[in-house]
Amino acid sequence: MNNWAGDLPLLTLLLGVSIILSVLTKWGLQRLRLPAAIGWLGIGMLLRAADSHWSWLSDGSHEVFAFLSTVGVACLLFRVGLQCHLKSLIAQFGRAVRIWAVDFLLSGLSGFCAAYYCLGLSLPTSLIIATALTATSVGVSVVAWQQRGRLQSPTGQLMLDVAELDDISGVVAMSLLFALLPALHSGENGSLVPLLMSTLGLFVLKLLAFAAVCYLFSNFVEERLTHLFRRMNPPADPMLLIVAASLLIGALAEYLGLSIAVGAFLAGVMFSRDPQHVRIEASFDLLYSFFTPFFFIGIGLDVDVAAIWPVLGAGLVLSGAAIFGKVAGKWLPGLQIESHGMAALLGFSMIPRAEIAMIIVQRGMQLGEWAMPTDVFGAMVLVSLLTCILSPLVVHVLLGRVALPASVDEE
């Protein structure tokens, strides 16, 4: 208690400074057409560098930032689930799934080969990297599409649908991978196949049980609770229900071994079916804006800036795999649907790796050095930085050169 009392003034100061810097960073990078996540990572790395020099962060301070980072993950993936327009996705499922399937396999395969064969990393680490590189952060590229007024074009909508599949498959693959990794790690001296099969079976049972709970909540509880909140006089802020539901579902998922991130994502999907989900999302914006930067700040705090230069080569190799996997994975199947230019535009729009990719590697780091060594973690942070900077620059140029069909609003 005495230690915490001594930490409080400095911790309060750091939180206030972090919030101000996150707002200013987001504003500045948006003007440069770059994702705010880059700046938030930089804030965390700056705090880590200052702590390495002056040793001012106590264990209590790290615990607080870790808690805020966990809530940030929940907010981020709740927002991803809330923005999953399932009806629209089903309508274009045939077109989108053909592109997504090749993209998912090629992105994962290129990431695994680069990590396992080129860099000589362990099997668990290579699998984590492969899973992380299957995800995308299309929000980084969406800004360029919006500025050109082409997001509502058929190609722009197809890009969003494929991105939703990328996000969903990334979260599912993450859940499955981290259910299998402990068995993979402990079964090196025994019969691995039975151990993996039993772990996989237990994971499937947990997932089905959790999905059943989510289905019951979505169809029999959520609408009644929302209606009750709206009938109160004065009406209760729907954000209270959102926060409570996402935290409860996230905690349940964590207890089942599926992680808070997966629970928050599925909670968002449940609320996305609500006819008032646009109002729900607007109500959620303030909470999202407050907590999400702390996820990236927390990642930055785990990165030793001095350790990035030694892993520059590994970061470039993994960045090459990340770029190749998405560009080729979208371009090859995209040729059956779009022109060469449109297919390339789809591919470069999917290059960024930020939110879900960093969630996956961070969870790997939490398992220990055997799963995600510190230097490899630094290399993956470098991948995130490079891909998030490169993609919007290339997409902006391609949008000026590739002729796209008129948007729905223009027809």
Least confident of 15-29, 167-181, 220-234: 220-234
Least confident of 57-66, 79-88, 346-355: 79-88
Least confident of 18-27, 258-267, 366-375: 258-267
CA distance readout (Å), 138 to 80, 84, 191, 314, 386: 11, 13, 41, 24, 15
Query: What is the average pLDDT across 316-338?
Result: 83
Q: What is the CATH number of domain 65-410?
A: 1.20.1530.20
Residue 1, pLDDT > 50, answer no
Query: What is the average pLDDT across 189-208?
Result: 69
Q: What stretches of 32-82 show up as alpha helix (H) in DSSP?
A: 36-54, 59-82
Assigned token pair, 95: 């077109």
Residue 27, pLDDT > 50, answer yes
pTM for this model (two decimals): 0.74
What percent of the chain lies above the pLDDT cut of 90? 16
Residue 274, pLDDT > 90, answer no
Which pLDDT belongs to residue 116?
Answer: 96
User: Greater confidence, 225 or 276?
Assistant: 225
Query: What is the average pLDDT across 38-65?
Result: 82
Query: What is the average pLDDT across 72-100?
Result: 72
Residue 99, pLDDT > 90, answer no
> How far is C-alpha 181 from the geometric centre of its chain's CA atoms?
20
Q: Say how many C-beta atoms besides its own lie within 10 A of residue 252's C-beta.
A: 18
User: Greater confidence, 133 or 249?
Assistant: 133
Q: First vs last Cα of the chain: how many Å apart?
A: 65
Residue 328, pLDDT > 80, answer yes
pLDDT band at residue 396 under the 50/70/90 scheme:
confident
pLDDT band at residue 237 under the 50/70/90 scheme:
low
Tens of pLDDT, residues 358-395:
889 988 998 989 999 988 998 998 998 888 878 877 88
Which pLDDT belongs to residue 235?
Answer: 62
Which pLDDT belongs to residue 410?
Answer: 41
Least confident of 74-78, 134-138, 229-233, 328-332: 229-233
Which pLDDT belongs to residue 146?
Answer: 63
If you search the block for the tokens 């999907």, which residue do you land on? 269
Which pLDDT belongs to residue 246?
Answer: 75
Which pLDDT belongs to residue 124?
Answer: 93
Mean pLDDT of the chain: 78
Residue 325, pLDDT > 80, answer yes
Q: What stretches of 350-373 show up as alpha helix (H) in DSSP?
A: 355-367
- Helix crossing, 36-54 with 2-31: angle to 10°? 140
Residue 76, pLDDT > 50, answer yes
Residue 290, pLDDT > 80, answer yes
Which pLDDT belongs to residue 309?
Answer: 82
DSSP 169-227: HHHHHHHHHHHHHHHHHHGGGS-HHHHHHHHHHHHHHHHHHHHHHHHHIIIIIHHHHHH
Burial of 197: CB neighbours in 10 Å, binned 0-12, 13-18, 19+ = exposed
Which pLDDT belongs to residue 111?
Answer: 96
Q: Where are the domains of the chain?
A: 65-410
Query: What is the average pLDDT across 108-124?
Result: 95
User: Greater confidence, 125 or 96?
Assistant: 125
Which pLDDT belongs to residue 129?
Answer: 96
Query: What is the average pLDDT across 392-404?
Result: 77
